[in-house]
Structure 1
Amino acid sequence: MATAAAIAAPLTEPPRGRQFLGHPFGLGVLTLSELWERFSYTGMQTLLVLYATHYLFQPAHVGAIWGIGPFRAVMEGMYGPLSPAALASAVFGLYAGLVYLTPILGGLLADRLIGKTRAITLGALLLTAGHFLMGYEQTFLIALLALVLGVGAFKTNITGQVGDLYAPNDLRRARGFQIFVMGISTAAMLAPLVCGTLGEKVGWAWGFGVAGVGMVVGLATYLAGRRWLPPEPAPIHKGGIVEPRPPLLPGEGRRIVVLVALLPVLALASVGNEQMFNAYLLWGEANYRLVFFGRTMPVTWLISITSVFAILGVAGTIAFWRWWATRWREPDEMTKLLIGTLICMLAPLILAAASLYAAGGHKISLGWAVIFHLVNEVGFASVYPVGMALYSRCAPRAIGSTMVALYYLHLFASNMLVGRLGGLLETMSPANFWLMHAGLIAIAAAILLVFRKLGGRLLAPIV
């Protein structure tokens, strides 16, 4: 572990001789650091609902959690009486939502007070503590708080450091981010295989503990590679005076209104994808024939399936639009968002059809899972990254970073909604449960069509 003096030492200009896949060597440091952070996060996330439903929130164990009485009273005040499964779903939604809200605070912490390097280090320490505390029943709520705050300090700032590696006119920037995202996808594929298998087959504490070890490796990687990272920018505060920001240009206020109004629509478009870490795992546990090469596999391996298709979905979508552009005009972001949302709508329809087949008492083949994850990831590849591109392009320069951070709020809202919807799996038929998700995504597609007609000109590039 580095000393406080080492962490506080000023960064120098990263050496330029050493390269990582034709990019600044700091990209390799940041990609590996983020890979281990995502490994630990995804590993914990895949276990959370299963652990809470099958073990922690059962009557024999729930009373051991420090502060569970007041916490449960607050949750039931929002959602009504909650069974163990419904409480687990609500807690998951709250946790998964907050990890997309706290990065705004993490960005402000870095920009205004301590800088990106210290913020990332603080976030990694909180994440490490949170993962290890998950291994104890009593500290469950403390662990979740540490994890939420840790992600907030870590996520936005390490992504910002990737961008700081490149000059504004460096054409390698986009490819650098693609390498960075591939690291995230690789971690998301491996974490359920390791943490999920240990948690389900050996013991819950083992799964959470390995996630904590992964975070320790990520922190060590980051601190060891600090000399290859970009220098911290000049602080906003100089002599107690805040440097003025550039003013909004004419018409940019209306752009902001449209971008903010799009957030709840994108939240609806994402409910099918975000439900995969929640009720989908419980549904899959009850309905899939979880046999792989003659052996029963952990249900958390389903997340590894979707991570493989996430990599293929992004690569395939990029290749498709490149091919399209050689023959026809490539559509704008709003059109791609609409197409992606319509594809996302098909994914829960597949699960509804599978539920009808399983209603006869049949365990369904994992082929249904392959089809579902393939369709969902192709659709989501045209929603999440395309939305990010839209917000980064259309955001006024005066508040560009803030608008990109606000983009994550749609995932906060989506996960809060998912937490509420997930509890309905106990009271609705599985087919109707997934039809409900398809209907919500269809509503998002209809609203996007209206936005495309009415707001498309406002979101056109400023010349």
Structure 2
Amino acid sequence: MSTKNQQEILESVPQKGFFGHPKGLFTLFFTEFWERFSYYGMRAILLYYMYYAIKEGGLGLDKTTAASIMAVYGSLVYMSGIIGGWIADRLYGTKKTVFFGGILIMAGHIALSFPGGVTALFLSMGLIVIGTGLLKPNVSNIVGDLYSKDDPRSDAGFSIFYMGINLGGLIAPFIVGTLGQKYSFHLGFAVAAVGMLAGLIIFLATRKKNLGLAGSYVPNPLTPDEKKSVFLKIGISTLVIVIAGAILISKGILTINRFTMLVSLLGIIIPIIYFAMMYFSKKTTNEEQKNLLAYIPLFIAAMMFWAIQEQGSVILAQYADERTRLSFAGFSLESSWFQSLNPLFIVLLAPVFAGIWMKLGKRQPSTHQKFSLGLVLAGISFLVMIIPAIYGGPDTLVSPLWLVLSFLIVVLGELCLSPVGLSATTKLAPAAFSAQTMSLWFLSNASAQAINAQIVKLYKPETEILYFGIIGAIAILLGVLLFLLSFIYKRKV
């Protein structure tokens, strides 16, 4: 995007009106709030829906398979951001792509609202995977459009936006989780669909007035001839994949375990290809190539962080259901409620972190140093889970406070890394690949969960000490290494 176009966008957006930030932040805050309500509400009960017995309203899958599917699902949700980024960069711009994504997400939740068994499960997953890929990276990219490159409000703005994401995630498990576990899983999924509908209504009602030209430009549009060629290739490729998949599944060649392994490999290969494609593109300048090199350590650190954080909805969710005493101070608890801990702490602490970064100004730690601190804290959040295993053993129910402590520590790390990572991505992105670079940021989460699809198979109550200990120690080691590298890249972001 040229400097002239960027200036036109900034002039079209009301620059004050939402806690001292551009008014468009209101629209994006509440759009993402409701999208995350629908996603995290569904995710709070999905693992249990898969492995609970059929007589309990579930699908009756074994727990190891359910955990692996959860990790792969999460990976594909973020991996599909590549598609959303490409569509925004080359076809429709971010604003239209966000709207199309919301429609698909809502359709996915509706599919789960009816008792269609495993078929409905995978249909819903497919719709939500594609829809989230269209919506999530592009909403964040529009936030970047609201600020100039040197606007000191940028990091704080992303922190406020991030708080909106987590407000939705905070409320959803209590509403969707309670309805799903106490009454019917399908009722819970239906409420998630209503949440996405609310987000679409807010986006449509306020986007013109609040967003101006933000998200309306197509930075690297296809020519008419290129469109015909691309659509033809996409159509043929989709048809081939569907036919090949149907044949392989019917013959028993493509099993769930083989599919999860395939996704795990893609989680490693795709980022490498993506970085190489952008780095060697003729549209990437020499300075942008240097920025991409500075971005690689951040990407690797983010992968390690998300590998721990995302296990909160898989391994720690299973831990809450099976290893945790579901009562506290005389109150009964639902295992799905623990999924609200992460967003709860973010909602409480995000304003604190935003204020700290604003107050420190140019004296604040560099982006790489913030990332290193986030990694160390993530490692500690797993190490604390060793303590109840040592003192209580694998057969006793432990206090819910151990999960509370683990979630709190990882959130401290998340607030050092995630909103800052969003901001750094908008600053380091090559101009011709702005939306796709934001997709690359979310790909760090996809890669982490793709790898998790294999790692979570190693978890058992009797292996807790090794499981939490080894993963936690690796994260701390990488955090220390990144801190040492931070002195090389300090001037980049």
Tell me if both proteins adopt one fold, taking TM over 0.5 as the criterion: yes
Pairing 1:461–2:442 present: no
What do the CA deviations read for 1:233-255 (whole angstroms, capped 9, x no partner)?
2664486599x9865126x5354
Call closer, same or farther: CA 1:118–1:259 in 2, change over 3 Å: closer
- What residue in structure 2 maps to residue 211 of structure 1? 192
Call closer, same or farther: CA 1:435–1:307 in 2, change over 3 Å: same
- What residue in structure 1 maps to residue 132 of structure 2? 151
The DSSP-based 3-state class of the residue aligned with 1:457 is helix
Separation (CA, whole Å) in 1 of partners of 2:351 and 2:33: 19
- What residue in structure 2 maps to residue 84 of structure 1? 62
The DSSP-based 3-state class of the residue aligned with 2:398 is coil
Pairwise CA distance, 1:430: 2.2
Indicate which of 199, 212, 217 corresponds to 1:230.
212
The DSSP-based 3-state class of the residue aligned with 2:401 is helix
The DSSP-based 3-state class of the residue aligned with 2:286 is coil
Larger deviation, residues 167-176 vs 371-380: 167-176
- What residue in structure 1 maps to residue 144 of structure 2? 163
Indicate which of 35, 38, 47 corresponds to 1:37.
35
Residue type of the alignment partner of 2:416: S
Call closer, same or farther: CA 1:94–1:57 in 2, change over 3 Å: farther
Call closer, same or farther: CA 1:296–1:214 in 2, change over 3 Å: same
Pairwise CA distance, 1:283: 1.0
Pairwise CA distance, 1:152: 0.8
- What residue in structure 2 maps to residue 53 of structure 1? 51
Separation (CA, whole Å) in 2 of partners of 1:106 and 1:268: 24
Separation (CA, whole Å) in 2 of partners of 1:194 and 1:145: 24
- What residue in structure 1 maps to residue 393 of structure 2? 359
- What residue in structure 2 maps to residue 122 of structure 1? 100
Separation (CA, whole Å) in 2 of partners of 1:87 and 1:230: 46
- 1:13-32 equivalences under 5 Å are 19-32=17-30
Pairwise CA distance, 1:189: 0.6
Separation (CA, whole Å) in 2 of partners of 1:146 and 1:200: 24
**Contact 2:89-2:434 at 8 Å conserved across structures:** no
Separation (CA, whole Å) in 1 of partners of 2:463 and 2:165: 35
Pairwise CA distance, 1:172: 5.1
Separation (CA, whole Å) in 1 of partners of 2:199 and 2:58: 36
Separation (CA, whole Å) in 1 of partners of 2:370 and 2:478: 14
What do the CA deviations read for 1:397-455 (whole angstroms, capped 9, x no partner)?
56454433312222111111222222222374222221132133134225424534xxx
**Contact 2:158-2:423 at 8 Å conserved across structures:** no
**Contact 2:382-2:468 at 8 Å conserved across structures:** yes
Residue type of the alignment partner of 1:37: E
Separation (CA, whole Å) in 2 of partners of 1:444 and 1:32: 35
Indicate which of 164, 186, 200 corresponds to 1:183.
164
Residue type of the alignment partner of 1:248: T
- 1:271-290 equivalences under 5 Å are 271-290=307-326
More helix by percentage: 2
- 1:268-417 equivalences under 5 Å are 268-320=304-356, 325=360, 329-359=363-393, 361-397=395-431, 399-417=433-451
The DSSP-based 3-state class of the residue aligned with 2:335 is coil
Pairwise CA distance, 1:395: 4.2
The total of aligned residue pairs comes to 424
Call closer, same or farther: CA 1:55–1:450 in 2, change over 3 Å: farther
- What residue in structure 2 maps to residue 97 of structure 1? 75
Call closer, same or farther: CA 1:193–1:61 in 2, change over 3 Å: closer
**Contact 1:245-1:398 at 8 Å conserved across structures:** no
Separation (CA, whole Å) in 1 of partners of 2:439 and 2:88: 13
What do the CA deviations read for 1:86-117 (whole angstroms, capped 9, x no partner)?
11111111111122221221122123223333
Residue type of the alignment partner of 2:332: T
Separation (CA, whole Å) in 2 of partners of 1:356 and 1:450: 33
User: TM-score, normalized by length of structure 1?
Assistant: 0.81
The DSSP-based 3-state class of the residue aligned with 2:52 is helix
Indicate which of 67, 88, 91 corresponds to 1:113.
91
The DSSP-based 3-state class of the residue aligned with 2:488 is coil
Separation (CA, whole Å) in 2 of partners of 1:157 and 1:389: 13
Call closer, same or farther: CA 1:357–1:21 in 2, change over 3 Å: same
In structure 1, the gaps of 5 or more residues are: 1-10, 63-82
What do the CA deviations read for 1:248-292 (whole angstroms, capped 9, x no partner)?
126x53542453355334312332211000011111222222214
- 1:232-247 equivalences under 5 Å are 232-233=216-217, 236-237=220-221, 240=224, 247=284
- What residue in structure 2 maps to residue 67 of structure 1? none
**Contact 2:304-2:375 at 8 Å conserved across structures:** no
Call closer, same or farther: CA 1:446–1:87 in 2, change over 3 Å: same
**Contact 2:102-2:200 at 8 Å conserved across structures:** yes
Residue type of the alignment partner of 1:436: I
**Contact 2:68-2:453 at 8 Å conserved across structures:** yes
The DSSP-based 3-state class of the residue aligned with 1:383 is helix
The DSSP-based 3-state class of the residue aligned with 1:289 is coil
Separation (CA, whole Å) in 1 of partners of 2:491 and 2:16: 40
Pairwise CA distance, 1:392: 3.7
Larger deviation, residues 393-402 vs 431-440: 393-402
Residue type of the alignment partner of 2:449: N
**Contact 1:14-1:227 at 8 Å conserved across structures:** no
Call closer, same or farther: CA 1:407–1:18 in 2, change over 3 Å: closer
What do the CA deviations read for 1:339-394 (whole angstroms, capped 9, x no partner)?
22112211111111122233175432222233222212112222223333444444
Separation (CA, whole Å) in 1 of partners of 2:224 and 2:86: 16
What do the CA deviations read for 1:208-245 (whole angstroms, capped 9, x no partner)?
11101111111122222243232322664486599x98
